[in-house]
């Protein structure tokens, strides 16, 4: 009887001690996004949420709708809610530095996602190889159109990526410019990477040059769509080189049908996964593997995790985006007659 009573007491004590043992706190990641208007940013959001769910961490995502003030407010709210790590895809690279300062003052690590924030206090810049993207775009254009009149369509001037790409694109083209093999007839940054603004710029450039433009070097697919709309109105779509970046579905369809020349494919799932995985390590105060990346805007190196990118055109659609499952064969070749499509894998 005594033994039975002792066993009951021991079980009771064990139950109490187990229930009173502190539970491990779930990591909470805050992701302050600038926009989800473009298809690629919706992919980022979905992939980020999916990774958080897969690794059993909480995440709260805010979207600033291309407004710097709203993003600042979003970050304040995320910090108030006690996130363990803050991930920011900045609207304005310089203004976002103050958000980093706020987070760091509260001991919260910060990851600059896809776009580079002008701060040397970030714990990691997780992105694709942005300088490589700029170079790939111009290298492709120069190979296909070694001589002629060019129009340069850059992204938002507030976005460090657009500034980095401009520098790299021009570095590739400069020897041909110096030799006068190519002439840049127009160049501009486009507010918030807006396709409608790119369309207006393309229309003006075509009008001012009597349609004598051989290449539009465009820094993303959304703006490329705007440029293609301007070319279509003049019956020039497919006759003028148009570059892009992001491998958006509309761009892939335009490549398949010959209206867009190329895009730079940046797999989004590995990017989101890398950001979430780095965030978890930072929350646990563990070391993350980074490489130094020079931020020319602040003349300082920042720790970075940079993923590889691939040029995609009509010749390798099947071996890249379709093979990877990034886009479906039926969707990509939707506007291409069956007889003109490559064989389905």
Q: Are 114 and 96 in contact (CB under 8 A)?
A: no
Mean pLDDT of 17-45: 83
pLDDT exceeds 50 at position 48: yes
- Domain(s) of CATH 3.40.50.2300: residues in the chain: 28-128+267-307, 130-266+310-340
pLDDT exceeds 80 at position 345: no
> pLDDT band at 188, cuts 50/70/90?
very high
First and final CA of the chain: distance in angstroms?
74
CATH: 3.90.228.20, 3.40.50.2300, 3.90.1150.10, 3.20.20.100. Which one for 28-128+267-307? 3.40.50.2300
pLDDT exceeds 60 at position 260: yes
Residue pLDDT, tens place only, 134-187: 999 999 999 999 999 999 999 999 999 999 999 999 999 999 999 999 999 999
- Could you tell me which CATH class the domain 130-266+310-340 is placed in? alpha beta
Residue-level pLDDT at 3: 53
pLDDT exceeds 50 at position 20: no
In sequence order, what are the beta bridge partners of 148? 182
Chain mean pLDDT for the chain: 94
Q: What is the pTM of this model?
A: 0.87
Residue pLDDT, tens place only, 212-259: 999 999 999 999 999 999 999 999 999 999 999 999 999 999 999 999
| DSSP class per residue in 101-142 | HHHHHTT--EEEESSPPS-TT-SEEEEE-HHHHHHHHHHHHH
pLDDT exceeds 70 at position 21: no
Residue pLDDT, tens place only, 4-17: 544 444 554 454 44
Residue 180 burial (10 A CB sphere; 0-12, 13-18, 19+):
exposed
Residue-level pLDDT at 344: 83
Mean pLDDT of 278-307: 97
> pLDDT band at 320, cuts 50/70/90?
very high
CA dist., res. 153 & res. 166, Å (int): 9
Q: Are 307 and 44 in contact (CB under 8 A)?
A: no
Residue-level pLDDT at 40: 93
> pLDDT band at 25, cuts 50/70/90?
confident
């Amino acid at each position: 009887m005594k033994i039975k009573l002792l066993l009951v007491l021991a079980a009771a004590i064990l139950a109490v001690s187990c229930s009173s043992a502190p539970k491990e706190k779930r990591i909470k990641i805050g992701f302050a996004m600038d926009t989800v208007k473009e298809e690629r940013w919706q992919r980022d959001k979905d992939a980020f949420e999916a990774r958080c769910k897969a690794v059993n961490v909480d995440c709260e995502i805010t979207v600033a709708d291309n407004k710097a003030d709203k993003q600042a407010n979003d970050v304040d709210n995320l910090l108030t809610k006690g996130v363990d790590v803050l991930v920011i895809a900045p609207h304005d690279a310089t203004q976002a530095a103050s958000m980093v300062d706020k987070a760091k003052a509260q001991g919260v690590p910060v990851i600059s996602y896809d776009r580079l924030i002008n701060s040397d206090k970030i714990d990691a810049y997780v992105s694709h190889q942005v300088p490589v993207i700029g170079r790939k775009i111009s290298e492709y254009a120069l190979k296909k159109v070694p001589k002629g009149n060019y129009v340069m369509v850059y992204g938002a001037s507030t976005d460090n990526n657009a500034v980095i790409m401009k520098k790299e694109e021009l570095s590739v083209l400069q020897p041909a410019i110096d030799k006068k093999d190519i002439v840049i007839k127009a160049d501009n940054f486009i507010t918030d990477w807006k396709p409608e603004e790119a369309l207006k710029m393309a229309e003006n450039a075509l009008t001012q040059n009597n349609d004598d433009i051989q290449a539009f070097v465009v820094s993303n697919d959304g703006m490329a769509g705007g440029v293609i709309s301007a070319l279509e109105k003049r019956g020039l779509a497919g006759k003028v080189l148009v570059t892009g970046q992001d491998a958006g579905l509309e761009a892939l369809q335009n490549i398949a049908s010959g209206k867009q020349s190329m895009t730079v494919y940046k797999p989004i799932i590995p990017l989101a996964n890398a950001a979430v995985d780095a965030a978890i390590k930072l929350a646990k105060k563990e070391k993350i593997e980074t490489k130094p990346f020079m931020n020319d805007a602040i003349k300082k190196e920042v720790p970075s995790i940079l993923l590889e990118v691939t040029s995609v055109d009509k010749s390798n659609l099947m071996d890249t985006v379709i093979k990877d499952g990034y886009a479906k064969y039926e969707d990509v070749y939707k506007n291409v007659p069956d007889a003109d499509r490559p064989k389905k894998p």
